Chains A and B, each alone.
Chain A
Amino acid sequence: MPQVFHPSTNTVARASVFGGLFLIAAVVYAGNAFLRSSYVTQADVVRDQPVPFSHDHHVAGLGIDCRYCHSTVETAAFAGMPSTEVCMGCHSQIWKDSPLLAPVRESYAEGKPLAWTRVYDVPDFVYFDHSIHVAKGIACQSCHGPVDRMPLMRKATTLHMEWCLACHRHPELAVREREDMFKFERASTRQAGTVADGTFEIGPRFGGDHELANQGQRLVQQYGIVTKQLTDCVICHR
């Protein structure tokens, strides 16, 4: 009776053992990569808006402060969205016939609010508060990225919980002087540590700058940030 299995099946068996493991690893990796892709997270994806508002033009070009439109960012959980009246404050005088601004004029004339697509959206069980972040030296740029160079608005990060936690574990790497809250800086070669996806690495070994790191420690002290409290679940979830 001939052998049931041909000798080549040995190779198949060996390959399938390792191949199976590889396949599992590949699926896990691919799944993970998919979940972190912009397709899922919508990071860096430009959304359609009723009016193609350019932060690039208004912030970098005209030098309008963030708080002119997002007026409650220092006092409330919600940064505030400008009422149509705020838009019309300028646009009743300039670009008053621009077809791009037709929805704004229509809104103002008919009393119907504009409905902006939400770009930064955390789940309903996350209670984010802008005012405390601004008060404790977290600049707009830290989360919203280089808004001054965004002709159309997009999300600068994944908004994954690990991304939030990176700062909440090491606020010293993210805090800034209070007068710099609303400034946008070009990518500096100096940084206190490196930001890999979601994790901070501190110190010169990772290309960090000691001076900046020390400044971060000082600001954490000065602002009275209680680091251990920042990772309490109820700080964000309740």
Chain B
Amino acid sequence: MTDSTHAFDAQTTVPAGVRFARSGPSYWRSLEEYAQTPEFEELLHREFPSQLDQWNDPIGRRRFLTLMAASLAFGGIAGCTRPPQETIVPYVKAPEEIVPGKPLFYATAMPRGGYALGLLVESHLGRPTKIEGNPEHPSSLGATDAIAQASILSLYDPDRSQTVMHRGAISTWDKFMTEMAAQREKLVASRGAGLRILTETVTSPTLSGQLRVLLEELPEARWHQYDPSARDNVRLGARQAFGQDADVVYSFDKADVVLSLDADFLLAFPGSVRYARDFIDRRRVSSGKADMNRLYVVESTPTITGAMAEHRLPLRPSQIEPLARAIAGRLGIERSASAVKLPAGVSEAWLNAVVKDLEEHRGTSLVIAGDGQPPAVHALVHAINGALENVGQSLSYIQPVEAQPVIHHQSLVELLADMEGGRVETLVILGGNPVYSAPSRLGFADKLKQVARKIHLSEYDDETSFLCDWHIPAAHYLESWSDARAFDGTATILQPLIAPLYGGKTAHEVLAVLRGRTGRTSFEIVQAHWRQEMDDDQFGTAWRKAVHDGVLRAAERIDPSRFRVEASGGIGRRPQPEAQTGSGTVEVEFRLDAALGDGSLANNGWLQELPKPLSKIVWDNVASLSAATAQRLGVENGDVVEITLDGRSLRGPVWIAPGQPDDCLSLTLGYGRTRSGRVGNGVGYRAAEIMPADGARFAVGASVRRTGEKHPISTTQSHHAMEGRDIVRVTMHQRVTDDSQSATPHSDELPSLYPEYEYTGNAWGMVIDQTACIGCNACVVACQAENNIPIVGKEQVAVGREMHWLRIDRYHVGGLDNPETYFQPMMCVHCEKAPCEVVCPVAATVHDSEGTSNMIYNRCVGTRYCSNNCPYKVRRFNYLQYTDETTPSLKLLRNPDVTVRSRGVMEKCSYCIQRISAGRIAAKIENRPIADGEVVTACQQACPTRAIVFGNLNDPQSQVRRLKESPLNYGVLAELNTVPRTTYLARVTNPHPDLPMPAAAELHGEPKVHADPNKAES
């Protein structure tokens, strides 16, 4: 394996059953395309693949005619009915500020893995409908991520737990309080002996305050924490390096060279949204900045962070520590003998370039270790950052954000030992689902049976609730008063947007009951806590301001001089063996799923149907492996294998991930739920089944066996292929900053049969910066939430009927072992000369005078001609009644400004026409032009990196206009003379001069980069 192979080596990378016909660099999107299989060719030539199969059933002509006649007759009758008589129900006493039709926004935060993401939530007449980032919150700066966007659906999930359950029977909160009151007397008498409280990661100052008081009252009780997304390795690494707890806050805006050691910091870190913003802001060359940062990524399974890297190196997780040690050795801080030995697959040239780059950027470099890496790697990274003088510059240390930093795995093991020893009488589980998420080897479910009284607070009646005596429905975070802290320590008071739909309770309320203070509401508890912390005289004002702003003070940076690691031999080396070993030959790693996270939102259809950033798989998790490993094991995509690690095994389908290191399987957590609800049950495999008992996130020595079974996998990967044309363009930083290369765009126009139209008012347009797009999917879910887009299910996706208006295309260049990856968000480009519009027989898709191509749903009769004629394949058709129009709770979710489409209607990106309309009306009432930035599309608003810019092309001062004038600007398929209003900025990379330049940049000659949207390519 070489680090960046351009020439394809057929000897080493041919998976079984796949015939490879081509070589050399060119864009490819799937293995089938790479190999040019007949199946792929067929796929290409059909608009919606395999849809014909739906009609190959044996219904005869006669039955068809019967059905048609009946449907015509009934359709005609239905058409004669009057629309239902509606009523207007005004308030009895109108609340202040609420104006029907005008949304209000409230600041709150979403706690995930304990850490807060600051949000503004849109509320229509008291029902939250859309989540946006809070521009004033440091974790968000106005952006969000896919999971936060999707969490609104979970609020209205009809499968959420709706009642208190006691031993499988419906009970009430009052009965629970009565029983707890009786229990409390005993607990007080025994000073809390036998009481255990298990929480997830707690950053909430109020909750931790409550817990502390409770533990003071009942000193024999214990508080344990277990969170499947806990960052134990990070915590242990800091302890090994400094002998104390500290959290790291990265300042990517000050880092010119970033080296990631298996750290997916663009997606999977607390604070990733902010980190992505800072990282990309340091990368933009189109803003007139000459310098650009450079990213090196060493990782196992490909992640979006790896896709952004100039130089990505695939390496098995266990090999990363030797590499980190080697780098530390080159930098003179690691003196042990192993420091000079390089792991297989790492070339001297690569290492030299990285070390040289790091040394040349002292104070402006950054080395980051991933959560899955053992503490030793973290300790080494602390030492490296110290030696590179980055501390206080590109990273800083703060007091831990967690209220009580513990090693979660250890805390769980202690709890389990107590449970097994019969020392636990009452176990209160506040959130979390340890029966599902804890490694099976620990036997949580079995040991739970030895506890006399088990109480579980949870949003769903889940796997853990099933085994507990009491199940209390938990309030969703949008229904709760609470507080939480962000990655940098900033505290936010969570305010509810709506009263609990299903009578949910918060952890605060349950703890209040344990303290014998029944009837205290979360609001009183949270406010009482902050009353102690805020200035008494001004409390009313301070409280209102804190709730309104959603931001309270941040944690202080600690003096960097306290964090110093001396050069030594064997930094952070553990006495015990590094990783669990079995007898097999394959390494397995366990990661949080890129869409579902730890699985607590498994019943969220938006996340289930969200294509994974790289594999584009939906409704499944797979075991990723490399092509060579697949060939060695004799498996193809979708083959079910049995993975055995140290006596435990699981079955799951394999998937070939280009760029995965050999002999390494990546499994993801979050799937294989059995009691998540109707959406998430039985989807995927449960990776915790074979997770190591020591809490490690990877293990060597697993064995893999073919089972001969096949598991169908739905992916959006192969749809919408664009037949090898020049869709994504890549150039190098050096070329862009070289003045001689910035030619002015051509302006000659191709002849067109379309009538000319002069746009005299606003002319809406969009530019998407491919250098900035990290492929995180936030825009995809934001679009879904804003535009009432339904989900369709795994089978429908398999036949190409997914409904996402906005998709993120992913292209690969280079060999299968380590290809380059490029993301391209693709939605309707709003062609000025739109091929879809002229073929509509009923004029249901037409232009408006501001240049947007619109769908008029009430006119659409569903011929699908428009979709046939669309070169971008961005139109979506409601083949079936996908939108659930009957479930009452889901009606509350819909955006009232967007029509809910039913079966037989075509739809597509509208540039968020409802937002344009609102902006236009607001401006016209005041008789002024619409200001730049006043109309923001949902995708643009959600984007962590501001890759999407929307605005008025006729406004010479607008940001979008300035970007359109960039030499990097080009229109996709502009050679068709569709004159797309959405154009793209070519991806700019900044490779190290000593290392190979990206293959994609070689694909295009210089003029391609400067091509004008109107200009055909020669």
B858 and A237 within 8 A (CB)? yes
Judge whether B87 is part of the interface by a CB distance below 8 angstroms: yes
B88 and A118 within 8 A (CB)? yes
B835 to chain A minimum Cβ distance, whole angstroms, is 18
CB-contact partner of B899 in A40, A115, A125, A136, under 8 A: A125
Judge whether A209 is part of the interface by a CB distance below 8 angstroms: no
Q: Interface-forming stretch among B16-24, B90-98, B462-470, B649-657?
A: B90-98
Judge whether A141 is part of the interface by a CB distance below 8 angstroms: no
Judge whether B917 is part of the interface by a CB distance below 8 angstroms: yes
A117 and B85 within 8 A (CB)? yes
Interface SS of chain A: helix, strand, loop or mixed?
Answer: loop
Residues of chain B within 8 A of A224, CB atoms compared: 924, 927
A80 and B100 within 8 A (CB)? yes
Interface string of A130-147 (1 = CB under 8 A from B): 011001100000000000
Residues of chain B within 8 A of A124, CB atoms compared: 899
CB-contact partner of B90 in A76, A113, A132, A232, under 8 A: A113
Residues of chain B within 8 A of A129, CB atoms compared: 921
B90 and A234 within 8 A (CB)? no
Residues of chain B within 8 A of A112, CB atoms compared: 92
Q: Interface-forming stretch among A15-23, A81-89, A190-198?
A: A81-89
Residues 65-115 of A at the B interface (beta carbon under 8 Å): 72, 75-78, 80-86, 107-108, 111-115
Task: Give the docked Cα–Cα distance between A226 and B849 (Å).
Answer: 10
CB-contact partner of A83 in B90, B850, B897, under 8 A: B90
CB-contact partner of B85 in A83, A118, A136, under 8 A: A118
B101 and A229 within 8 A (CB)? no
Judge whether A233 is part of the interface by a CB distance below 8 angstroms: yes
Residues of chain A within 8 A of B857, CB atoms compared: 125, 237-238
B94 and A136 within 8 A (CB)? no
Residues of chain B within 8 A of A80, CB atoms compared: 90, 99-100
B917 and A238 within 8 A (CB)? yes
B89 and A238 within 8 A (CB)? no
Task: Give the docked Cα–Cα distance between A209 and B995 (Å).
Answer: 81
B125 to chain A minimum Cβ distance, whole angstroms, is 10
Closest to B914 in A: A238
Task: Give the docked Cα–Cα distance between A121 and B87 (Å).
Answer: 9
A179 to chain B minimum Cβ distance, whole angstroms, is 16
Residues of chain A within 8 A of B846, CB atoms compared: 233
Task: Give the docked Cα–Cα distance between A136 and B914 (Å).
Answer: 20
CB-contact partner of A232 in B91, B99, B849, B924, under 8 A: B849
Max count, chain A CB within 10 A of own CB: residue among B87, B92, B848, B854: B92
B848 and A116 within 8 A (CB)? no
Residues of chain B within 8 A of A75, CB atoms compared: 99, 102
Residues of chain B within 8 A of A223, CB atoms compared: 927
Task: Give the docked Cα–Cα distance between A68 and B925 (Å).
Answer: 21
Closest to B100 in A: A78
Judge whether A123 is part of the interface by a CB distance below 8 angstroms: yes
Interface SS of chain B: helix, strand, loop or mixed?
Answer: loop
Given contacts A72-B99, A85-B94, A107-B92, contact A234 B927 (CB under 8 A): no
CB-contact partner of B761 in A82, A86, A226, A238, under 8 A: A226
B90 and A127 within 8 A (CB)? no
A108 and B858 within 8 A (CB)? no
Task: Give the docked Cα–Cα distance between A124 and B857 (Å).
Answer: 11
CB-contact partner of B858 in A76, A123, A228, under 8 A: A123
Interface string of A158-195 (1 = CB under 8 A from B): 00000000000000000000000000000000000000
A76 to chain B minimum Cβ distance, whole angstroms, is 5
B925 and A131 within 8 A (CB)? yes
A117 and B87 within 8 A (CB)? yes
A132 and B87 within 8 A (CB)? no
B100 and A229 within 8 A (CB)? no
Task: Give the docked Cα–Cα distance between A116 and B91 (Å).
Answer: 12
Task: Give the docked Cα–Cα distance between A42 and B92 (Å).
Answer: 29
A-B interface pairs (CB < 8 A), number? 121
Task: Give the docked Cα–Cα distance between A228 and B91 (Å).
Answer: 39
Judge whether B86 is part of the interface by a CB distance below 8 angstroms: yes
Task: Give the docked Cα–Cα distance between A117 and B859 (Å).
Answer: 28
A228 and B849 within 8 A (CB)? yes
CB-contact partner of B86 in A78, A83, A121, A238, under 8 A: A121
Task: Give the docked Cα–Cα distance between A228 and B760 (Å).
Answer: 11
B92 and A238 within 8 A (CB)? no
Given contacts A132-B921, A238-B913, contact A76 B101 (CB under 8 A): yes
Residues 933-973 of B at the A interface (beta carbon under 8 Å): none
A175 to chain B minimum Cβ distance, whole angstroms, is 14
B100 and A76 within 8 A (CB)? yes
B103 to chain A minimum Cβ distance, whole angstroms, is 11
Task: Give the docked Cα–Cα distance between A84 and B927 (Å).
Answer: 35
A139 to chain B minimum Cβ distance, whole angstroms, is 16
B856 and A84 within 8 A (CB)? no
B89 and A233 within 8 A (CB)? no
Given contacts A76-B100, A77-B101, A123-B83, contact A82 B90 (CB under 8 A): yes
Residues of chain B within 8 A of A81, CB atoms compared: 88, 90
Judge whether B852 is part of the interface by a CB distance below 8 angstroms: yes
Given contacts A118-B86, A229-B848, contact A83 B856 (CB under 8 A): no
Task: Give the docked Cα–Cα distance between A85 and B95 (Å).
Answer: 11
B94 and A234 within 8 A (CB)? no
Interface string of B469-486 (1 = CB under 8 A from A): 000000000000000000
Residues of chain B within 8 A of A85, CB atoms compared: 91-94
Task: Give the docked Cα–Cα distance between A40 and B80 (Å).
Answer: 9
Judge whether B666 is part of the interface by a CB distance below 8 angstroms: no
CB-contact partner of B92 in A113, A132, A228, A237, under 8 A: A113
Residues of chain A within 8 A of B852, CB atoms compared: 234
Task: Give the docked Cα–Cα distance between A223 and B925 (Å).
Answer: 9
A113 and B89 within 8 A (CB)? yes
Judge whether B501 is part of the interface by a CB distance below 8 angstroms: no
Residue contacts A-B, CB under 8 angstroms, 30 given: A42-B82, A72-B99, A72-B100, A78-B99, A82-B90, A83-B91, A83-B94, A85-B94, A107-B92, A113-B92, A115-B87, A117-B88, A118-B88, A124-B899, A132-B925, A229-B761, A229-B848, A229-B849, A229-B850, A232-B850, A232-B854, A234-B848, A234-B852, A234-B854, A234-B856, A235-B848, A237-B857, A238-B854, A238-B899, A238-B914
- What are the 5 A-B residue pairs with the smallest beta carbon separation, nearest first? A232-B848, A81-B90, A83-B94, A77-B101, A83-B91
